[in-house]
A = this chain, B = another copy of it.
């Protein structure tokens, strides 16, 4: 980007002001100490840090800079469409997908055109979860709340009546697709957790 034209800058600053609202979107998960719900702004920071720290767990062709950009953007649609909790998903996935696409049109549309196209493409790639970069980004997005649940000794899972099998399907699958060795480690932790609980 080499856009120093004032009109582009005005649009960029308006987008950044709008993004501030992501700090008011509450997630189903709490902080690791259980003190309050996590919001999607601080979650986005944390998963980007996860990617930076766990880069060595990614497949060799993964480009960390693209992964981090995806993670910084991935939840912005929630400003309009709200959070869709993995263990209590909406009853109408098609409606949710439409709401998120409409949100992406509006929110990325605040940016100068070239940048809107670039960011929207990154978000589409993340959502599709097919490219190596997107698969690693999705894995990070799932590992972070798993860590919170383990830190809270499964309190949130119990509260939502979530089983080990559901966690393996909803959380384990996307993690293993993007970070195989990391999932082997976490899978063992999960097995221990539920062995102790049962």
Question: What residues make up the interface of A, taking CB atoms closer than 8 Å to B?
Answer: 1-4, 6, 8-9, 12-13, 15-17, 19-24, 31-33, 35, 38-39, 41-42, 44-46, 48-50, 52-57, 64-65, 68-69, 72-73, 111, 115, 144, 147-148, 151, 181-182, 185
With CB as the reference atom, state the residue of chain B lying closest to A45.
B45
With CB as the reference atom, state the residue of chain B lying closest to A20.
B32
B contact residues around A1 at 8 Å (CB): 55-56
Counting every copy of the chain, the complex holds: 2
Q: How far is the CB of A93 from chain B (nearest CB, A)?
A: 27
B contact residues around A48 at 8 Å (CB): 45, 48, 68, 72
Q: How far is the CB of A77 from chain B (nearest CB, A)?
A: 14
Give the 5 A-B CB pairs with smallest separation, nearest first.
Answer: A45-B45, A1-B56, A41-B42, A65-B65, A20-B32
B contact residues around A24 at 8 Å (CB): 31, 33, 35
Give the CA-CA distance A45 to B76 in the complex, in Å. 12
Give the CA-CA distance A185 to B5 in the complex, in Å. 10
Q: How far is the CB of A168 from chain B (nearest CB, A)?
A: 19
B contact residues around A144 at 8 Å (CB): 16
With CB as the reference atom, state the residue of chain B lying closest to A41.
B42
- A52 touching B72 in the complex, CB below 8 Å, given contacts A39-B42, A41-B42: yes
- A17 touching B32 in the complex, CB below 8 Å, given contacts A52-B69, A56-B4: yes
